[in-house]
Amino acid sequence: MKERLYRYYPDDFGKLEARVLHMDLEFDVFDDHTVVSSKMFLKSIDPIYKLCLNARDLEILLVESDQPMKYNYRQKDAMLDISFETPVPRHTEFTISTKTICRPTKNILEGLYYDETPAGAPPQQITQCQQWGFQRIVPCLDDMTAKCTYRTTIRADSRYTNMITNGDITVPRKTVYLGADGSRDEIVYENMSTPMAPYLFFLGVGTYATYKMEFEYPDESCFELELLVPPGSDKNAATQSLDILHDAVMWIYLFTGPESQKHLDKKRQIFELTKLRDQLKHNLNSANVLLENVNKTMNNLNAIREKIDLLSDGLTFGYKYTGTVYREIGMQNSDFGGMENVGNTTITTNRIMPSKNMTDASFEYMADVKAHEYYHNINGSEVTGNSPFEIWLNEAVTVHIENAFHAYFFGDDYTRLQTIIDLYAPVSGTFALDSGAASMPILPDGFNDPNDLITSVTYVKAPEFVRMVETWIGKETFAHALHAYHRKFSHKNARTYDWIHEMEFASKKDLSKMANVWLHQTGYPILFVTKIYDAKKSEFRLKLKQALPLSKRPWIFPFSFALADRKGKIIYEDIILIQNEEEEVVLTVEEPAFVSLNRGGSFYGKIVTQADQKELMMQARKDKDIVSRFLAFNTLTDREKERLLKNPDSTPSCEYADLYHELLCDHTLLNKTGGLFLTIFESTDNEEFAHRYDRLFEVRRQIQNEIAKRHEISLKIIYEEYFDPADPEDEKLYSVRGSLRLKGEQIKRRQVKNNALRLLSTLDTPEIHGHIKRQFLTATNATDRLVAFSAWLNSSAPEKKELTFIYMEECKKDLVAWESFLATVAGTDSPDCLDMVQLIEKDPAFRIEQANDQRALYGTFARNRKYSLQTPEGLEFLKSTIIRMASINEYSTVGLLNAFSAIDKMEIQYHVPLVTALDEIAESIDPEKSPSVYNRIKKLLVGAPNAVRAYEIEHNKSRAFH
């Protein structure tokens, strides 16, 4: 019998025996427990003899039904079995009522749990039901197909400022109990318009500062945006947060839907006019408005509304919200950055609104997550995947829309290049994870916990598959097909091939073969490209060959390419569908100076080209396509790193250093891409060196140092040129208009400046220490300060430890700053990295039960493999950390284990120590209590047969662990 690597397989998700129609829920929330009364209305599909409800870690007080029954609670199996004395007939409505108790915890971030509680307030309690958290609250059919409506009553301590759940308020909040031990309030919500899967249920009782903003559509219909954040939060920051949310909601309405690719100029005008309209509304509501200006403002407002109405005439728009309130709630402790909950989106508090301590990357995330979670209202909530195996479908299409939103404000080139860099990044990049032993396909064979599916495969690779489908069938066709999919499955569940079918029907193209490969196969295509030109025939041949392991089928994907002359002018361009292991393109054209490959990142994979140094240099300077141009530059960089790795006594080439400097001086390029284009990865595609993490770090630093030495004066000029002190007028404009474009321009300039500083910092001289220290002490934004702090940590500056302790004390006062501080220290290249991590870990400010702290300190250190895997003390620390974390937070622990995903590809001397560490971890944890951790270790070892064999020989064991 084949060993089960997973707890759950597709066959475990069958058809439900009954349809859930509605749930009446009553929550009596107390500090240490909650009493939940539930009346579930169901309708049988076939005769039902026995119904098994999911019920995890509940105390059962009562189980009743309008049908004669008995029940048995199998607590270990988390199942409440209800046996009917006579079977419930087919198509019969019946009810099941339960009364249970659930108890919140601090570290199991699923079901009802404690969040960060403001001083003097009753315990902050929120729920997280993705994916099977609802069964930790109430007995239920905790299945994605169990979509139903809800009426929810909440009773809790009157001191709570907010008592919230899904839906609209039908009975306003009122006090229902006055006693010596305090008063209690009650409120009733109904969610009747959008039947929702149980994983989308949300309940929260807490103490928040509440900020509101009216959202008005172009047709003047309105609903309310609401933001719940910690008391004492900055009002301006909250207003900016709502502005950005407002932009996301409006953008999704205007620029999605069946005609998302049509009338774009009109839609852009409408978008800008709605911003102006809302500013006039704000002025009218201002306490400082002068009476004589009211009529003038009203006339201007009416004129703008008329213009919006005129522009909107005849246009078809996208998703329109169906509720009366859309709410974002700050959650300090969560495994996820955000979670949609039908009208109530939870977003990690560190990313829900702008902050002086928020980095630029976090700011971009904040904008994106607002658009992402809001779009889930249609793609995920109204249309829901059929099982956890369809989580990719809920997420991939949503990320695809999120990327388009980001590109609207930050620019297409910047957004696309950001994704390409996410793919190529070492250790944590999607290509690296997708080629590791722990990799799973988009549609995996199985999983141990639904959280196993929340990976970059789901959030990066799967959206790239969606993008490839769009590229091949065309944007307009894709938009119509997506709209048809949302209409057809509205308030229903969809399977993977339901989505594929709608794409095929609209495009009249067969996508099933392409989908089968991409959805079921791990890894990605590596395409070898050879070009041949016959001058006599004016014939150009492009030979394309996929590198395929024996077990892999050829990938099918759109491939965009172009032939260009010496000035970068396009001679010929096309998009073809690669379907076979080998393909050939034959053209009659003049001889190109270079070939632009995988333009726009047309497929998820890598290109290996035989282009010589001269051709790549020309392409890196002249290619009109940003992605192809970057890939040419990245190939040059890889070749430079590989040369240094093979010849440790050699020095970086002047030619490469001068090219890098030339690109750093290209204002047109950097205005589009910021500092992203000049990324030098700490990695190489050459498998001989790809996992020598310590040497790769040294080689990258060598290259950076050579650039700095050759161009020190110019780098200082660039640094000062891009040095933008905070402009009060810009900040005022941002706060008033919510201009994400303005913010994007500032972010790009900072990237260029800080790239120059990173290069200069490799000189490690007292003068450069002065520049670093000046930026650290005078920085007006978090990114500048953290870049300087990181450079300071990596330097030989004598005051390094003193400054670190001073900064640490400052960061303790703000959770956003604290998270960034932890990640910066854990990711440092300094040899004392582990010492600092251990020092911070012992500080009372570090709270191991907090997911943000776990990810920032432990997660970053695990990815810092030159220390976490390649030093004995680092490996021992990582091992002991994983053992501790397994009983605290399984999701975070599995993330730490990903550091071991390429054991067999590392140098031989690391094989036995790494397998030994995994063996000791497995021996120290309970497979029943930590199944995801235990099974991930099994999968890692299956993917490292050579290392396991060496371990077995040395330890005289038949297998790594039993």
pLDDT in tens, 857-875: 999 999 999 999 999 999 9
For 819, the token pair is 């998270």
Tell me the mean pLDDT in the region 123-145.
95
Query: What pairs with residue 447 in β-bridges?
Result: 8
pLDDT value for 734: 45
Each residue's pLDDT tens digit, 344-400:
999 999 999 999 999 999 999 999 999 999 999 999 999 999 999 999 999 999 999
Average pLDDT on 446-473 reads: 93
Percent of the chain topping pLDDT 70 = 97
Looking at residues 278-307, what average pLDDT do you find? Answer: 83
Residue partners of 778: CB distance under 8 A and separation at least 6: none
The predicted-structure confidence for 213-233, as pLDDT tens digits, reads as follows 999 999 999 999 999 999 999
Q: What is the pLDDT of residues 193-204, one digit of tens each?
A: 889 999 999 999
Mean pLDDT on 701-726: 92
* Each residue's pLDDT tens digit, 575-603: 999 999 999 999 999 999 999 999 999 99
pLDDT digits (tens, 9 = 90+) for 27-53: 999 999 999 999 999 999 999 999 999
Q: Examine the pLDDT at 685 and tell me if it is beyond 70.
A: yes
DSSP state of 590: P
Give the pairing of strands 162-165 and 203-206. Answer: antiparallel
3-state secondary structure 110-168: CEEEECCCCCCCCCCEEEECCCCCHHHCCCECCCCCCCEEEEEEEEEECCCCEEEECCE
Amino acid at 344: N
The Cα 402–Cα 930 span in angstroms is 34
Please compute, for residue 848, the number of CA atoms within 13 A of its CA located in the half-sphere on the CB side.
16
pLDDT interval class at 735 (50, 70, 90): very low
Q: Reduced to 3 states, what is the DSSP secondary structure of residue 504?
A: helix
Question: Mean pLDDT over residues 830-846, rounded?
Answer: 95
pLDDT of residue 375: 98
pLDDT of 805 above 60: yes
Is the pLDDT assigned to residue 826 strictly greater than 60? Answer: yes
* pLDDT of amino acid 7: 85
Report how far residue 18's alpha carbon sits from residue 623's, in angstroms, rounded to the nearest whole number: 59
Q: What is the DSSP string of 888-940?
A: T-HHHHHHHHGGGTTGGGS-GGGHHHHHHHHHHHHHHS-TTT-HHHHHHHHHH
Give, to the nearest 10 degrees, the angle between helix 931-942 and helix 890-897: 10
What are 43's two structure tokens? 């309708």
Lowest mean pLDDT among 178-182, 324-328, 363-367: 178-182
Instruction: Please determine, for residue 106, whether its predicted confidence score (pLDDT) is greater than 60.
Output: yes
Average confidence score pLDDT of the chain: 94
Per-residue model confidence as pLDDT tens digits over 902-948: 999 999 999 999 999 999 999 999 988 888 899 999 999 999 999 99
Find the range with the poorest average confidence among 391-405, 457-471, 677-691.
677-691
Specify which of 180-184, 434-438, 660-664 reaches the highest per-range mean pLDDT: 660-664
427 confidence band (pLDDT: 50, 70, 90): confident
Model confidence at 468: pLDDT above 80: yes
Q: Name which residue leads in pLDDT, 677 or 954.
A: 677
Cis peptide before 775 (omega within 30 of 0): no
Q: What is the pLDDT of residue 736?
A: 45
Query: Which residue is it, tokens 């990810």?
Result: 855
pLDDT at 191: 95
Domains of the chain by start residue, with CATH: 10-196 (2.60.40.1730), 244-517 (1.10.390.10), 526-616 (2.60.40.1840), 712-797 (no CATH), 805-962 (1.25.50.10)
Residue-wise pLDDT tens digits, 496-507:
999 999 999 999
Instruction: Read off the amino acid at residue 621.
Output: R
Query: What is the per-residue pLDDT for 187?
Result: 98
What percent of the chain is predicted at pLDDT more than 90?
A: 86
As a three-state string, the secondary structure of 427-485 is CCCHHHHHCCCCCCCCCCCCECCHHHHCCHHHHHHHHHHHHHHHHHHCHHHHHHHHHHH
- Local confidence band at 290 (pLDDT 50, 70, 90 cut-offs): low
Separation CA 750–CA 787 (nearest Å): 10
| Per-residue pLDDT, 1 | 41
Beta bridge partners of 755: none
- ∠ Cα 9 13 17 (to 5°): 155
CA angle 780–740–471, rounded 5-degree value = 130
pLDDT of residue 439: 87
Residue 298, pLDDT > 70, answer yes
Q: Which pLDDT score, from 0 to 100, does residue 725 have?
A: 61
Residue 801 has pLDDT above 90, yes or no: no
User: What is the total residue count of the chain?
Assistant: 962
